[in-house]
């Protein structure tokens, strides 16, 4: 019965995700358009494509995972689903699995687009994108889980995420070093995701720093979702 409930929750979350087709404009069409505009640049190095992967992952986490749970909680549907399933954690897990599927689909379609219209993307890059993106999506969700502590409404979240997107995308074009790089990695989900993608090309010191940040965010997310409320008063 429990497995049947979890499967039903997964199908509900998947249906909700694909009904919100407009968000795919932000998460997939926009990076495709951006890479088309920049097609004269050198895309032979994988670090160039990691910028767009980072954008896809972070915008999907915000517009998919975070916004979906905020919308469900605000409408009261989260409380209903929790009552029917018997656990709010099952809902969070189902939402997580759905977003992992969406991220993989978007990364795959983006890579195909780049291969056909910009430059060849190697099969090894396809595989790396598949393997790395799942882990990075989970870690970005862990990093941004702090938003649930704020207990904000959907409209406030939209304004807040809009500001974060604007600043984050602008900073993706910056390549800071030293303290500034560490600071951006801690506070910018875009820089954090990009840093995780380029770990194979990074110094051991920066890789250790990313591992520490990832562990910290995972611990914070466990505490957040452990206390996650399904119907508290929102701001």
- Segment 127-148, tens digit of pLDDT: 999 999 999 999 999 998 888 7
Rounded to 10 degrees, what is the CA torsion of 133, 212, 148, 155?
-60
Over range 20-47, report the average pLDDT. Answer: 76
| Domain span at 26 | 2-226
Number of structural domains the chain divides into: 1
| Structural domain contains residue 91 | yes
> What DSSP character marks residue 229?
-
pLDDT at 3: 47
The alpha carbon dihedral of 229, 233, 234, 235 has a sign of negative
Local structure of 74: helix, strand or coil: helix
CA angle 176, 180, 184 (to 5 degrees): 90
- Would 233 be classed as within a structural domain? no
Domain assignment present for residue 183? The answer is yes
Please report which residue ranges of 41-86 form alpha helices under DSSP H.
46-60, 67-75, 77-85
Q: What is the band of 85 on the pLDDT scale with cuts at 50, 70, 90?
A: low
More confident: 89 or 45: 89
What does the pLDDT look like over 212-233, one tens digit per residue?
999 999 999 988 887 776 655 5
The pLDDT of residue 72 is 78
- 231: Cβ contacts below 8 Å, ≥ 6 apart: 73, 76, 78, 79
Centroid of chain to Cα 48: 19
Residue 17 falls inside a structural domain = yes
80 occurs within a structural domain: yes
Tell me the pLDDT band of 1, cut-offs 50, 70 and 90.
very low
Res 30 pLDDT > 90: no
Report which DSSP code applies to 24: H
Region of residue 49 (phi > 0: left; psi between -120 and 50: alpha; otherwise: beta): alpha
Half-sphere exposure (Cβ direction) of 178: Cα atoms closer than 13 Å? 1
């Amino acid at each position: 019965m429990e497995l049947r409930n979890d499967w039903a929750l997964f199908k509900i979350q998947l249906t909700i995700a694909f009904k919100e087709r407009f968000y795919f404009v932000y998460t997939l069409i926009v990076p495709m358009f951006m890479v088309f505009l920049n097609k004269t640049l050198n895309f032979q190095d994988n670090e160039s494509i990691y910028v767009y992967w980072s954008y896809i992952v972070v915008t999907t986490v915000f517009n998919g995972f975070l916004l979906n749970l905020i919308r469900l909680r605000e409408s009261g549907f989260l409380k209903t689903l929790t009552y029917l399933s018997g656990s709010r954690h099952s809902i969070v897990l189902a939402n997580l699995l759905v977003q992992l599927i969406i991220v993989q689909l978007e990364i795959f379609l983006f890579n195909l687009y780049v291969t056909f219209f910009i430059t060849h993307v190697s099969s090894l890059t396809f595989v790396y994108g598949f393997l790395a993106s799942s882990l990075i999506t989970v870690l970005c969700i862990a990093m941004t889980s702090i938003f649930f502590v704020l207990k904000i409404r959907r409209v406030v979240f939209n304004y807040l995420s809009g500001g974060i997107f604007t600043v984050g995308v602008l900073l993706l074009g910056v390549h800071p070093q030293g303290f500034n790089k560490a600071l951006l990695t801690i506070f910018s989900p875009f820089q954090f995701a990009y840093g995780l993608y380029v770990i194979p090309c990074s110094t051991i010191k920066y890789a250790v720093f990313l591992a520490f940040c990832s562990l910290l965010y995972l611990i914070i997310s466990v505490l957040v979702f452990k206390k996650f409320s399904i119907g508290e008063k929102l701001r």
